């Protein structure tokens, strides 16, 4: 069976000339190029009136179909239910979790709107691939509208165990929505096991069959693990190509031989940034030889600025960085360089390569692509060391990183010290093992496996 691919995500990343895209966009675009199809989603704009029908822009065999959203509805669907309810819940961070049933109703209405605007664009042989927690009810809405094509869902964030999920008053509703898919994909075995645990609860009554398929809600579907990867060679070559970019040179010169530790994260509480800054301070306290000799470069572009918690974490970090610099800085050395902005992808890769340590310490993360990009961007002859949180999905694959628990301030400080002291032979050995893992499971393997599962899963069986 072959047909077009219809990718759906909250935002559509339309490629812009001369700008390298990263992460999910690369995988989705490569899949769309191979199969032809549509990328459908929100255009990033809001209106005070009724949203318009999908506007379609064609580029070769790919069409970008976008809609706008009503401002009030968007606020409740995106800032409210998606990011103040589901995001903290799925990251096990109940201290940040809020629930408001009006936001949930908007979430359902926006999903119904997506279904209404997408349906007229569909052809009978299409397969539909829906991305992430913003759109969990979309398949159920499409089914209600009579769509019978294969529909897959990939969750980019972790899936919590039942004892966490049940904090959400409407958890059973969402679990039933997930049963409307043909394939549900997660980053790790752990997420899959949590999902199976939730689906098997009496309120849903799902049965896990011996071949891993699930029977629930009068349907049969597959849930499986598809760990997202990266374009490994591309990271390395971008890093190399941007080596002499004037800003990269400026960075290199400014280090004056000091060793750099790099962190790159959206400014989000799940990324463990305050904990990381505290651990770096502990490093300077407990291993004083590092004073004057290391620099922490933290790049943290702001996101979700419509949500108060995100502005609070920004202020908190500025406070901690200021305190560390106030306590330790000397006339010619500032220990923390905290940059609250984003950089071009090539420049980012080159900065990864300049860093002796990649510090990736989320308190919870679905996968974490920065960890993988950092490894791929290194010079294989003189690679830096990845210090990685055990609570990131990437830790299940990158076993040769220095693994740390982000809540253990002394442990992270010790992990950074281990990385800084590591011999060249050991750095090379760990790096080449991790590169082999990344190559085996790159971004193309991820999207091919998912689409294969989606097409295949739909051929044999349907309803039980
Ligand atoms: C979600 C899940 C999962 C960051 N700063 C800049 C920049 N970035 C790029 C990185 C990387 C991407 O953004 C971030 O990806 P992560 O995976 O680290 O984190 P999330 O954004 O939270 O992504 C996560 C992912 O989905 C994929 O499934 O791994 O667990 O939370 O590619 O390089 N890119 C540029 N400038 C920046 O300043 N150009």
- The domain tally of the chain equals 2
CA of 265 relative to ligand 1 center, distance in Å: 7
Nearest residue (CA) to ligand 1, atom 15: 369
Question: Model confidence over 271-296: pLDDT tens digits?
Answer: 999 999 999 999 999 999 999 999 99
Instruction: Tell me: do 326 and 414 sit in the same domain.
Output: yes
The reply to whether 365 belongs to the active site is yes
Q: Which of 15, 247, 264, 359 to mutate to test the pocket of ligand 1 (most atoms within 8 A of CB)?
A: 264
Is residue 206 lining ligand 1, measured as CB closer than 6 Å? no
Token match 């047909």: residue?
3
Q: Are 175 and 199 in contact (CB under 8 A)?
A: yes
Question: Model confidence over 188-237: pLDDT tens digits?
Answer: 999 999 999 999 999 999 999 988 899 998 999 999 999 999 999 999 99
For the cut 70, the answer to whether the pLDDT of residue 376 exceeds it is yes
Please state the atom number of ligand 1 nearest to the C-alpha of residue 360.
Answer: 18
Instruction: Tell me the pTM.
Output: 0.96
CA of 367 relative to ligand 1 center, distance in Å: 10
Continuous segment of H or E residues that includes residue 195: helix 189-199
Query: Residue 461's pLDDT is what?
Result: 47
Query: Residue 424's pLDDT is what?
Result: 98
Instruction: Please state at what angle helix 345-354 crosses helix 232-241, rounded to 10 degrees.
Output: 80
Mean pLDDT, to the nearest integer, of 21-25? 69
Please state the atom number of ligand 1 nearest to the C-alpha of residue 392.
Answer: 30
Instruction: Tell me: do 131 and 277 sit in the same domain.
Output: no
Cα separation, 81 vs 89, in Å, equals 11
Distance of CA 78 to the CA centre of its chain: 16
Is residue 373 lining ligand 1, measured as CB closer than 6 Å? yes
Instruction: Tell me: do 207 and 58 sit in the same domain.
Output: yes
CA of 359 relative to ligand 1 center, distance in Å: 14
- Residue 82 domain boundaries: 5-229+443-461
Is residue 430 lining ligand 1, measured as CB closer than 6 Å? no
Mean pLDDT, to the nearest integer, of 392-414? 98
Q: Are 274 and 316 in contact (CB under 8 A)?
A: yes
Instruction: Tell me: do 391 and 364 sit in the same domain.
Output: yes
Cα separation, 28 vs 435, in Å, equals 22
Instruction: Tell me: do 38 and 177 sit in the same domain.
Output: yes
Give the list of residues 6+ apart from residue 370 with CB closer than 8 angstroms, or none.
264, 265, 358, 360
Give the list of residues 6+ apart from residue 156 with CB closer than 8 angstroms, or none.
24, 131, 132, 133, 187, 228, 366, 367
Is residue 347 lining ligand 1, measured as CB closer than 6 Å? no
* Number of residues in the chain: 464
Q: What is the residue-averaged pLDDT of the chain?
A: 95
Is residue 23 lining ligand 1, measured as CB closer than 6 Å? yes
Active site residue: 134, 156, 242, 431, which one?
156
Instruction: Tell me: do 245 and 301 sit in the same domain.
Output: yes
Instruction: Tell me: do 215 and 254 sit in the same domain.
Output: no
Residue closest to 27 by CA, chosen among 7, 1, 51: 7
Cα separation, 218 vs 443, in Å, equals 33
- Alpha helices (runs of H) in 355-442, residue ranges in sequence order: 369-376, 409-421, 424-440
Domain of 33, CATH number, reads 3.40.50.2000
Q: Which of 132, 225, 367, 377 to mutate to test the pocket of ligand 1 (most atoms within 8 A of CB)?
A: 367
Please state the atom number of ligand 1 nearest to the C-alpha of residue 156.
Answer: 28
323-360 burial, b for 16+ CB within 10 Å, e for fewer? Answer: ebeeebeeeeebbbbbeeeeeebbbbbbbbbbbbbbbb
Residue 253 backbone phi and psi in degrees, to 5: -60, -40
Instruction: Tell me: do 45 and 110 sit in the same domain.
Output: yes
Query: Residue 306's pLDDT is what?
Result: 86
For the cut 80, the answer to whether the pLDDT of residue 24 exceeds it is no
Mean pLDDT, to the nearest integer, of 62-81? 97
Residue 112 backbone phi and psi in degrees, to 5: -65, -40
Neighbours of 234 (CB within 10 A): 19
DSSP string, 158-183: ----HHHHTTSTTHHHHHHHHTTSSE
Query: Residue 348's pLDDT is what?
Result: 96
Instruction: Tell me: do 300 and 356 sit in the same domain.
Output: yes
Instruction: Tell me: do 205 and 261 sit in the same domain.
Output: no
Active site residue: 43, 132, 234, 365, which one?
365
Nearest residue (CA) to ligand 1, atom 21: 266
Token match 């209106």: residue?
47
Is residue 22 lining ligand 1, measured as CB closer than 6 Å? yes
Instruction: Tell me: do 75 and 210 sit in the same domain.
Output: yes
Instruction: Tell me: do 87 and 199 sit in the same domain.
Output: yes
Query: Residue 2's pLDDT is what?
Result: 76
Question: Model confidence over 352-362: pLDDT tens digits?
Answer: 999 999 999 99
For the cut 80, the answer to whether the pLDDT of residue 323 exceeds it is yes
Cα separation, 136 vs 80, in Å, equals 15
For residue 135, the SS3 value is helix
Cα separation, 394 vs 396, in Å, equals 5
Query: Residue 18's pLDDT is what?
Result: 55
19-33, 72-86, 406-420: lowest mean pLDDT where? Answer: 19-33
CA of 160 relative to ligand 1 center, distance in Å: 20
CA of 23 relative to ligand 1 center, distance in Å: 6
């Amino acid at each position: 069976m072959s047909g077009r691919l219809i990718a759906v995500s909250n935002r559509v990343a339309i490629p812009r000339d001369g700008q390298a895209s990263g992460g999910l966009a690369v995988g989705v675009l490569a899949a769309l190029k191979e199969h032809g199809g549509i990328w459908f989603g929100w255009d990033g704009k809001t209106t005070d009136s009724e949203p318009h029908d999908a506007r379609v822009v064609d580029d070769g065999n790919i069409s970008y179909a976008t809609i706008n959203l009503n401002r009030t509805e968007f606020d409740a669907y995106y800032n409210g239910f998606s990011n103040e309810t589901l995001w903290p819940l799925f990251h096990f961070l109940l201290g940040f979790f809020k629930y408001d049933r009006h936001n949930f109703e908007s979430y359902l209405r926006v999903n119904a709107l997506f279904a209404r605007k997408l349906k007229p664009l569909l052809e009978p042989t299409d397969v539909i691939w829906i991305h992430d927690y913003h759109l969990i009810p979309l398949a159920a809405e499409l089914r209600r509208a009579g769509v019978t094509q294969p529909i897959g869902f990939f969750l980019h964030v972790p899936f919590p165990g039942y004892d966490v999920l049940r904090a959400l008053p409407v958890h059973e509703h969402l679990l039933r929505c997930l049963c409307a898919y043909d394939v549900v994909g997660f980053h790790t075995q752990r997420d899959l096991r949590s999902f199976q645990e939730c689906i098997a609860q009496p309120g849903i009554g799902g049965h896990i069959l011996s071949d891993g398929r699930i029977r629930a809600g009068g349907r049969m579907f597959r849930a499986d693990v598809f760990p997202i990867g990266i374009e490994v060679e591309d990271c390395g070559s971008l890093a190399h190509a941007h080596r002499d970019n004037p800003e990269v040179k400026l960075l290199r010169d400014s280090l004056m031989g000091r060793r750099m530790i790099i962190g790159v994260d959206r400014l989000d509480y799940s990324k463990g940034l305050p904990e990381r800054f505290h651990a770096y301070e502990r490093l300077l306290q407990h291993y004083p030889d590092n004073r004057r000799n290391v620099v922490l470069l933290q790049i943290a572009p702001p996101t979700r600025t419509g949500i108060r918690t995100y502005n609070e974490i920004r202020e908190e970090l500025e406070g901690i960085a200021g305190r560390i610099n106030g306590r330790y800085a000397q006339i010619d050395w500032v220990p923390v360089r905290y940059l609250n902005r984003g950089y071009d992808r090539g420049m980012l890769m080159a900065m990864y390569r300049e860093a002796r340590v990649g510090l990736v310490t989320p308190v919870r993360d679905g996968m974490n692509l920065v960890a993988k990009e950092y490894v791929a961007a290194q010079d294989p002859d003189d690679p830096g060391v990845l210090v990685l949180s055990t609570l990131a999905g990437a830790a299940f694959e990158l076993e040769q990183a220095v693994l740390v628990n982000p809540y253990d301030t002394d442990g992270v400080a010790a992990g950074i010290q281990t990385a800084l002291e590591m011999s060249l032979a050991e750095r090379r050995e760990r790096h080449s093992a991790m590169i082999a893992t990344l190559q085996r499971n790159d971004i193309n393997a991820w999207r091919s496996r998912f689409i294969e599962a989606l097409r295949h899963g739909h051929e044999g069986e349907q309803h039980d």
